[in-house]
Structure formats: structure tokens, C-alpha cells
């Protein structure tokens, strides 16, 4: 309804279709609000999804891609790298990566040390056994070949 500018106490009927236009305008505004809200939610979900992908898939934050390979892939293939059982390209990529990435280099050095530690212990045991067999405990003599065939203690 319209109000007459001359007499504000009296109401006049609305023009034909005016209420329909108002309803359509309100529906359009509501549709726009819902669309904006849905677009905002979709954008936030995409941001969370991409962030999760980059963080958890190996291409993410703090995961340097030196040498064309990321840290998670280096660590996943570290055993094969140490055993030298990777193809030449992957081997080169990992070598390039560990030149630039301290964390991966330190981790691979630790793994190599752990692998070499039992071998060093076995070698030491073999050397001790060899010395024990060449050392005559009764005469305190080291028997061997070379310049000195035996050394008295």
C-alpha cells in the first residue's frame, strides 16, 4: 500500500504488480546471499583441501624439492639409495638433494652409520679372532709372516 503524501493517515492500494516486484526482489536478494555463502564455504574447503594435499602428500611446506625430488621421497628410497640399488637418474636426484638438504643428508648419514656399525663390530671380532689364533698364549709369541717371523713379549 502507498501512503498519500498529502494525507499520511490514509493508505491507498498498491499498484498492480508492485507486491510481486517486492517479493521477486526479496527472493533475488536471498538467492544472492545463499550463493555468496556457498561460494565462501566452497573456497574455504578448497583452501583446506589444497593445504592438506601439500602438507601430507610430500610436496608440502618444509619439504624441499632439491634435485627434482622431495624429502619424503628421499626418505622413502633411502635404503635403496644406501644399497645403491636405484636407477641412475633417481640416484643422481637423491645425491643432488642431499647436497642441498641438511636434514636428509644427516638422516642418510645416520642410516649408513647404523648399517656399518654391525659390520665394523663383525670385522673387529674377526680381527681379534685372527690375532688370538696367531698369538701363542703359552710362549707369549706373535706368529706371522714378514720381516719378523715371531716376536717375543
pTM, full prediction: 0.39
**Dihedral sign of CA atoms 71, 75, 76, 82 in order:** positive
Q: What local confidence, expressed as pLDDT, does residue 54 receive?
A: 75
Encode pLDDT of 107-134 as tens digits.
999 998 888 765 555 556 666 666 666 5
Digit-coded pLDDT (tens) for 10-20: 888 888 999 99
Packing angle between helix 102-134 and helix 88-100, nearest 10 degrees?
110
Q: Map out the domains of the chain as residue ranges.
A: 15-57, 58-130
Q: How far apart are CA 88 and CA 80, in angstroms?
A: 12
| Ranges assigned E (strand) in 23-149 | 135-136, 141-143
- Does pLDDT of 153 surpass 60? no
How, if at all, do strands 150-152 and 141-143 pair?
antiparallel
Q: Which pLDDT tens digit goes with each residue over 33-84? A: 999 999 999 999 999 998 888 777 655 444 557 778 899 999 999 999 999 8
Amino acid at each position: 500500500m502507498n501512503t498519500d503524501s498529502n494525507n499520511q493517515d490514509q493508505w491507498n492500494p498498491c499498484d498492480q504488480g508492485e507486491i510481486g516486484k517486492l517479493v521477486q526482489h526479496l527472493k533475488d536478494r536471498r538467492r544472492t546471499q545463499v550463493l555468496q555463502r556457498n561460494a565462501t564455504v566452497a573456497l574455504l574447503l578448497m583452501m583446506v583441501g589444497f593445504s592438506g594435499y601439500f602438507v601430507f602428500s610430500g610436496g608440502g611446506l618444509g619439504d624441499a624439492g632439491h634435485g627434482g625430488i622431495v624429502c619424503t621421497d628421499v626418505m622413502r628410497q633411502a635404503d635403496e639409495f644406501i644399497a645403491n640399488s636405484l636407477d641412475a637418474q633417481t640416484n643422481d636426484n637423491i645425491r643432488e638433494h642431499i647436497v642441498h638438504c641438511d636434514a636428509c643428508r644427516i638422516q642418510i648419514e645416520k642410516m649408513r652409520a647404523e648399517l656399518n656399525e654391525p659390520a665394523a663390530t663383525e670385522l673387529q671380532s674377526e680381527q681379534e679372532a685372527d690375532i688370538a689364533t696367531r698369538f701363542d698364549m703359552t710362549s707369549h709369541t706373535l706368529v706371522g709372516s714378514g720381516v719378523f717371523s715371531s716376536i717375543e713379549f
